Amino acid sequence: MQSGPREIVTPYRPIPLEVPEGMKPNEFFNSAENLADLVHNNGLLANPEGLLLYRKALGHSNDFDTSIIYNTSRSILDPLGRPVRRTQVPEQVKNVWNRMNQVLVEYMLEQYPDPAAHLVLAGEASLDATWPLTSPGVPSIRMLHNHFIVFDKEELRRAPIADASNPNLTDGGQHSLFQAYMRDVYRAFFDELELRILKPCESGSCRISLTGYPQGLPSWEVQGGVEALKEVRFWKEYDTILKGFIDFYRSFFSQVSTRNAPLPRDIYFPELVENKLQFNNDFLMTAKMVRDRCIHDAKYANAIRWQPAFKQLIYRNDAGQLIVTISQNSIGNAITELLGVVVKRIPDADAYGRAEPALIEKLLEVRRRLVEADLGEGIATPYWDAG
């Protein structure tokens, strides 16, 4: 079996939403009106913290696919002012968020226990609030949300090999600036983070053999497996990985923007940045290379994401271990592509209808478990009751 990224086709039921005249779709999708539709037609569960569990109307997979969104559409009307990463979420909200994540990951692993049969993943892609709403590739809902997805590996085996030059296949060996020019600096920086539950992966052990992804990214094994997700320590370390990434990203692009720039304000690990980055020739040489190109190439400069843009996820490898990884994001923003799965969505109500009953049954069961754990209350829609 040839190893390589796969492109699968996922049918969906066309969404009966009319975009008001004069608005672009991604402008409308960020509105409070659209988020109200998300609740009423696809909402599964909501809680006082503003976290909404919903069915993905434009899904990645019809085996299992759901999301939790931090729904600030009514409390923060400016889409550019909404939280777009975990580090911006209030602690009391994040506590509930983490518990919901744990319940969902545990459910997916229980329902899909065989790593040879199913690819299981959960995680987030940053929604960079510095991009104009009309830029290509900007997410359709500019609020922090997590994805919980299961793919049938037999379907992936039958799927054609995806074009490896697809810009959405944002990965260490493909398009990542960090990995291409600063691999050793990047890894040495992460090695300095204080981690006990997360253990750096041995080379190649984290890769999904079917797709060959992820490629070249720093990754960590979750020691203790799914039980570790019940520990506060795990989520603190998960945030430490993100904070380290944000410090690296901000430090690098501040040097790209301004030669010999000072430490960025409010970074998490100032001593680490000063010792490992600001005095590193490879780091500063790469910043100069990007800066010089930005000055002479307007199109390249316009594509730069100056603020931290990332994909961070928990997934199950071929050996059944839970793995955490993080990657610089690209214009693509689809989290599945970090594991080499490119999803081509097609409108096909009949095909989606055949998969829908089994999918909804699972979503309602995981909702029941969340309600039982006092993590929210069920939402009634035209397709299901409140439970």
Q: Give 72-128 as a DSSP string.
A: -TTT---GGGS--SGGGS-HHHHHHHHHHHHHHHHHHHHHS--TTTEEEEEEEE---
- Provide the pLDDT for residue 32: 74
pTM: 0.93
Q: Strand locations in 201-309, DSSP E?
A: 219-222
Please tell me the distance from the alpha carbon of residue 155 to that of residue 149, in angstroms, as a whole number.
14
- Provide the pLDDT for residue 123: 92
**Which pairs count as long-range contacts for 51-56, CB under 8 Å and 24+ apart, including other chains?**
51/93, 51/96, 51/97, 51/100, 51/376, 53/100, 53/367, 53/370, 53/376, 55/359, 55/360, 55/363, 56/147
Tens digit of each residue's pLDDT (9 = 90 or more) over 345-369: 999 999 999 999 999 999 999 999 9
Burial of 183-195, coded b for 16+ CB within 10 Å and e otherwise, reads: bebbeebbeebeb
Element (H, E) at 135: none
Residue, of 34 and 283, whose pLDDT is higher:
283
Lowest mean pLDDT among 60-69, 93-102, 109-118, 121-130: 121-130
What mean pLDDT comes out for the span 49-76?
92
Tens digit of each residue's pLDDT (9 = 90 or more) over 141-183: 677 889 999 999 999 999 999 987 776 676 554 456 787 788 8
| Residue 142 DSSP SS3 | coil
Instruction: Name residues whose C-beta falls within 8 Å of residue 88's C-beta, 6 or more positions apart in sequence.
Output: 144
Mean pLDDT of all residues belonging to the chain: 89
Which pairing describes strands 6-12 and 43-46: parallel, antiparallel, or unpaired?
unpaired
Tens digit of each residue's pLDDT (9 = 90 or more) over 313-346: 999 999 999 999 998 876 455 789 889 999 999 9
Tens digit of each residue's pLDDT (9 = 90 or more) over 74-96: 888 877 788 888 999 999 999 99
Q: What is the largest CA-CA distance in the chain?
A: 60
